[in-house]
Amino acid sequence: MNNDLEQALAIWHKHFENEENQYSEFESSDIEYFIGCMLYNHFKFSKALANLKTMDLSYDFLSACGTEYDEVKALIEGISFDDELQKLEFLQNYILESKLKYTKSELYLLERLQYHVNAMAVRYKENVNIKHIDFENPLLRK
């Protein structure tokens, strides 16, 4: 794993060791998830779906992550690659490594991120650009 990434993870894991810094429903895996979201946002993938060009960090996390946010953000922004496929591979490997740290019950957010990143990887592999996706509410179908 990249040194800057390891340092960013260490900063927030240390911060959230103190239970007073934790928000309701906090899971340690939230840290890996939100750093994954920050990487995703930083890399600005051209084949991301229009409604997923960025992934929002939750208010709970942002309000609890402390003054270390700027330091972590700078570390994330220091990670760079020459092309999007390198960025994609880095993010996929980060997610896989992160998932190894946790039990199945702790992986909901990381698996959600992995689903979106892997779907985007298919678009890169097949060189597909999607402009729009229609989501249908199944309860409104006749």
What is the Cα–Cα distance from 108 to 114, expressed in whole angstroms?
10
Contacts of 25 by beta carbon, 8 Å cutoff, 6+ apart? 60
Which residue segment(s) compose the domain that 74 sits in? Answer: 3-140
pTM of the predicted model as reported, rounded to 2 decimal places: 0.88
Instruction: Quote the pLDDT of residue 135.
Output: 58
Tally of domains within the chain: 1
Q: Percent of the chain having pLDDT more than 90?
A: 80
What is the tens place of the pLDDT at every residue in 50-108?
Answer: 778 899 889 999 999 999 999 999 999 999 999 999 999 999 999 999 999 999 999 99
